[in-house]
Amino acid sequence: THNHLDHADPVTIKGIRNKDAITFIGPRTTFETFLQSGVKKNSFVRLDVGEEKEFSGIKIKGTFCIPNEEAVLDSEGFILFLDNNINLYFTGDTDYTRFLEYVADYQIDIMFTCINGKYGNMNINDSIKLVEKIKPKIVVPNHYGMFACNDADPYEFKSKAPHLNSLILNLGEPYLYRKDKGLLNNP
Domain range enclosing 70: 49-171
Is 164 a member of any domain?
yes
26 within domain boundaries: no
Nearest CA to 116 out of 146, 156, 157, 144 is that of 144
Query: Under a CB-based contact definition with an 8 Å cutoff, are residues 59 and 87 in contact?
Result: no
The pairing of beta strand 110-114 with beta strand 182-184 = unpaired
Let me know if residue 106 belongs to a domain.
yes
Average pLDDT over residues 46-61: 94
Question: First-to-last CA distance in the chain?
Answer: 29
Residue 112 amino acid letter: F
pLDDT, tens digit (0-9, with 9 covering 90-100), for 149-180:
767 899 999 999 999 999 999 888 999 999 99
Q: How many domains does the chain have?
A: 1
State whether residue 36 is helix, strand or coil: helix
pLDDT for the residue 186: 53
Q: Is residue 37 part of a domain?
A: no
* Residue 161 domain-assigned (yes or no): yes
Residue 138's pLDDT band (cuts 50, 70, 90):
very high
The answer to whether residue 6 sits within a structural domain is no
pTM for this structure?
0.91
Residue 96 confidence (pLDDT) above 90: yes
In a domain, 80, yes or no: yes
> Which CATH number fits the domain that encloses residue 83?
3.60.15.10
Q: How confident is the model at residue 187 (pLDDT cuts 50, 70, 90)?
A: very low
| HSE-CB of 174 using CA atoms within 13 angstroms | 4
Q: Is residue 178 part of a domain?
A: no
Q: What does the pLDDT look like over 2-51, one tens digit per residue?
A: 676 677 788 888 999 988 899 999 998 888 888 989 999 999 999 999 99
**How much is the average pLDDT of 109-135?**
93
What are the b/e assignments for 98-116, b being 16+ CB within 10 Å? eebeebeebebbbbbbbbb
Q: What is the pLDDT of residue 135?
A: 98
Mean pLDDT of the chain: 90
